[in-house]
Amino acid sequence: QPPLSPSLHPLPCLSPAQPGGALIRELVPESQAYMDLLAFERKLDQTIMRKRVDIQEALKRPMKQKRKLRLYISNTFNPAKPDADDSDGSIASWELRVEGKLLDDPGKLKRKFSSFFKSLVIELDKDLYGPDNHLVEWHRTPTTQETDGFQVKRPGDVSVRCTLLLMLDYQPPQFKLDPRLARLLGIHTQTRSCIIQALWQYVKTNKLQDSHDKEYINCDKYFQQIFDCPRLKFSEIPQRLTNLLLPPDPIVINHVISVDPNDQKKTACYDIDVEVEDPLKSQMSSFLLSTANQQEIASLDNKIHETIESINQLKIQRDFMLSFSRDPKGYIQDWLKSQSRDLKLMTDVVGNPEEERRAEFYHEPWSQEAVSRYFYSKVRRHVKRCTF
């Protein structure tokens, strides 16, 4: 997982397009390195964003790996003990065990054997155990507790032929195709989406889509046999497929439960192809949900903002002192004017320039009193100077 870079925010006075940008680069040579990092981060963010979108799209699709599940079928025989006190020991019995594990499983958490199956049926010899006791069934339910294997124990001292029917738990669900559709598409068992995709590929390859109304498909002789119509909408195919999709075939294993003490072959092994989640899927999900670097990124962002603010303040101070050194008198006058404008804004004491520039403004009654007060103050100051 690539480390996320801190978010860089361009400083207006550092931007080459802004006035004074060149001056800032002269004062702070490292600012060009910042701009280079900023451009690189944009490219990196775009790359990471595209990758995140790709991962999100990939996670929407099933990500499966083909693996081998090794099935172990074994049995033990317990002969009768005439001198046993309990009833269990005085009757001969056998025990059948069905277990399994994934070959070359790199995962730290081992997956339970029962999690691979939707149901398991063991059919014993009906002649030996009767019509009511010859079936042993297990079916998955929402509250099923996963287990590492299954055990069946029955009384008996003769070898028993049994048939194991194992139904894999496909995720997403898979279906067996109608024989006619299976021959046409070359698919025996597959998910509904893959079957519809194969049908669309067949339509395109054989140019069955109507040239005038793209919504319709003109059925060839094979489609007519399967869908029983000369023409249909492509949107109708999912509904019409319902009667053509069957439950997948179970895995059938014939086994002999031997009670012969001299028989050494009491364990049989079978390899079954199963689909498991791609380990990469969990890594991709972790990448999308990862927030491990968020605190570090936030800390670096704060430092960047503080540094930018410090540079701004230092530039303002430098510009102030530089302007003052070049023309102290003019700068002070300009500064006082600026302060006066700010004071008027702060105290709401503002004039009306549009009225003040007209002669009628000065013929108002207040102007006579203002002139008198002005001359009176001038005379008073003159008298004071003459007195001294």
Whether the CB-CB separation of 152 and 255 falls below 8 Å is answered with no
Whether the pLDDT of residue 12 is over 50: the answer is no
| Bridge pairing between strands 174-177 and 189-191 | antiparallel
Whether the CB-CB separation of 94 and 75 falls below 8 Å is answered with yes
Of the listed ranges 30-34, 75-79, 186-190, the least confidently predicted one is 30-34
Closest by Cα among 170, 177, 176, 152 to 98: 152
Whether the CB-CB separation of 100 and 297 falls below 8 Å is answered with no
Whether the CB-CB separation of 64 and 71 falls below 8 Å is answered with no
CA 165 to each of CA 124, 144, 330, 344: distance values in angstroms, whole numbers, following the listed order: 11, 19, 101, 94
Task: For residues 285-306, give the mean pLDDT.
Answer: 78
Task: For residues 56-75, give the mean pLDDT.
Answer: 83
Distance between CA atoms of 237 and 229, rounded to whole angstroms?
12
Whether the pLDDT of residue 62 is over 90: the answer is no
What's residue 247's pLDDT? 92
Whether the CB-CB separation of 13 and 20 falls below 8 Å is answered with yes
Whether the CB-CB separation of 135 and 121 falls below 8 Å is answered with yes
How far the first Cα of the chain sits from its last, in Å, is: 89
Distance between CA atoms of 27 and 12, rounded to whole angstroms?
15
DSSP letter, residue 106: -
Whether the CB-CB separation of 100 and 168 falls below 8 Å is answered with no
Task: For residues 135-143, give the mean pLDDT.
Answer: 91
| CA contacts within 13 A on the Cβ side of 113 | 18
What's residue 14's pLDDT? 38
CA 200 to each of CA 195, 205, 244: distance values in angstroms, whole numbers, following the listed order: 9, 9, 16
CATH of 175-246, one of 3.10.150.10, 3.90.1300.10, 3.40.50.300, 1.10.245.10: 1.10.245.10
Cβ-Cβ contacts under 8 Å for 74 (sequence gap 6 or more): 96, 97, 99, 266, 267, 268
Of the listed ranges 5-19, 219-233, 322-336, the least confidently predicted one is 5-19
Summary mean pLDDT of the chain: 81
Task: List, for residues 311-354, the tens digit of each pLDDT value.
Answer: 878 888 888 888 888 888 888 888 888 887 777 777 765 566 66
Whether the pLDDT of residue 121 is over 90: the answer is yes
Residue 373 host element (H or E) = helix 365-387
What's residue 353's pLDDT? 62
Check whether domain 64-170+249-277 has CATH 2.60.40.1970, yes or no: yes
**Confidence grade of residue 20 (pLDDT, cut at 50, 70, 90):** very low
Domain boundaries, the chain: 1-63+279-344, 64-170+249-277, 175-246
Query: Whole-model pTM?
Result: 0.59
Task: For residues 293-303, give the mean pLDDT.
Answer: 82
